[in-house]
A = this chain, B = another copy of it.
């Protein structure tokens, strides 16, 4: 593997063959918004479906679909309203806006400028004489503004209520936890997934579909018992991971650690067993959809990158720069151009706590004890005939304060008197007026706030990775050829079907019936009868179709069964096979149960 990819050649192919292109080109385009053409939309759907199969169905989770527009209160709670900012500096001369932290990182040896306060960034811009990258005017003295990356809108008539396009799909899951736990029959652990659009009003969208303003996320929120739950680690214990821990990133000449999931947990390289488990599941999934393992790594967030609530966080990164071979990439983690394609983080109780604080629900779950427990509970029954005359209209509040205190700190009533605060003033009451009693009650369980472990995937970047890793230029019969070595799992078309010529009715009929039988077997088929056969192969090669079936005269000659030829995209090798039973044989190759080489041994090779 490890083909050479060229970003420009890939972008050209993407537009020409309908994978993706900048939207609204007839109106000059709008940066950061892309349209997936027929091929790209199919590839993207197949990636989503493969993700669903693994992260929803196979792991036994449930998928929901929430709205993309959500009210302000949700993002007040989540912290996005205050904290989801980029630092922006606008040039006085040309008016262009830039990420101030990026300018500082480029001009200085500061590595994580985003974490610095604004005044410090302003000073760094001035001290290092940083200039506008567009027009060269000095930016010293320009104010750096915090720019919120959420798209804002207004919901409802008139001026409406503020609403925002969700910056991540996750919030549409967290905020519905009170219902989702019911659907999971209030049993931990349970996982909820969502695949859908998310939005970030990036200041400088760039690199095609790698950094866009509207993108698709596939997220799993795994709700786990903070005390009890372990992941089913054994299912992925032996999966090997290429890990790039924080310590290795910070060490001069640091290198990758290759560990199985089990080793990574046992050695503490990955702190959270749940995170390690999902790294293993992800590694197998990337394999299945055709990500090149030599160009994939799991990189731990450095302390400065990590959200304050995340106790451990790793990114999946893919290498998409090309031009560096597998051995060199393995030897030097700083070689190549890597992009983040997924994040795995242990978010603790942060999200549900925040929503409990801001919302009207407790965001907890009732966890049954294995056996009911007897607990002593202190209750008070204040004597209102005493409190009434003494505190008048405040008597009820005093009684309430005593009840709350009994729940919070029963031992406070051990002395002769207790003091509670009512409307901010201390009130002291004799203990016996409170009528303290201790009863033994049976409790079936307790309310707990689940922790959340989140694997979060960028679908567009995954698609980009598959194209970059699959891109090939070679020669066939002395002619240059471009092809995409896409996995049959995700290729837009599984099988191309052609009659050798389009003016022979018998061949056309037969080809059409082959196409029908393959479709009936669940394979995605493209039927093509236009242009010479070589050109049709090239068309399918360019969109990554793994197999092509050609119906020719030879296959209908003689008394034997009708045969067709099947061609393999990557080797261009061909084999002649009976038309009968073809669907099952090709489905086996597409499903990965059989190789093309095995198919070739079973049939008559075609030279």
Contact = CB atoms under 8 A, between A and B. Distances in A.
Given A30-B155, A151-B153, A157-B88, A38 B24 contact: no
A62 interface: yes
- Most chain B C-beta atoms within 10 Å of own C-beta, residue among A57, A70, A74, A155: A155
Nearest to A519: B57
Contact of A35 (B15, B42, B172, B185): B172
A31 B192 CA distance: 24
Interface in A169-205: 172, 175-176, 178-180, 183, 185, 192, 197, 199, 201, 203
CB-CB nearest 8 A-B residue pairs:
A26-B359, A38-B62, A97-B157, A27-B73, A36-B65, A33-B67, A26-B361, A35-B66
B88 A64 contact: no
B199 A69 contact: yes
A152 interface: yes
12 contacts: A26-B361, A27-B74, A27-B359, A28-B360, A37-B183, A38-B64, A90-B157, A97-B157, A147-B157, A147-B158, A151-B155, A160-B201
Contacts of A32: 155
A594 to B, nearest CB: 16
A482 interface: no
Q: How large is the interface on A (under 10, 10 to 19, 20 to 34, 35 or more residues)?
A: 35 or more
A246 interface: no
A201 B156 contact: yes
Interface in A142-168: 147, 151-158, 160-161, 163, 165
A378 interface: no
Interface string A501-533: 000000000000000000100100000001000
A199 B70 CA distance: 13
Instruction: Tell me what chain A mostly uses at the interface: helix, strand, loop, or mixed.
Output: mixed
Nearest to A28: B360
Interface string A8-30: 00000001001001011111101
A260 interface: no
Nearest to A158: B97
B67 A157 contact: no
Interface string A431-462: 00000000000000000000000000000000
A70 to B, nearest CB: 6
Nearest to A97: B157
Contacts of A25: 176, 178-179, 361
Contacts of A68: 68, 197, 214
Contact of A38 (B35, B44, B183): B183
A226 interface: no
B30 A44 contact: no
A213 interface: yes
Contacts of A152: 153-154
A33 B70 contact: yes
A24 to B, nearest CB: 5
Contact of A21 (B26, B71, B160, B179): B179
Nearest to A76: B27
Contacts of A71: 24, 27, 30
Contacts of A203: 156-157
Given A25-B176, A27-B175, A38-B62, 9 more contacts: A21-B176, A23-B67, A24-B71, A27-B358, A30-B71, A33-B70, A69-B213, A97-B158, A152-B153
Contacts of A27: 71, 73-74, 175, 358-360
A28 B77 CA distance: 14
Contacts of A30: 70-71, 155, 161, 163
A469 interface: no
Interface string A78-99: 0000000000101000000100
A183 B69 contact: no
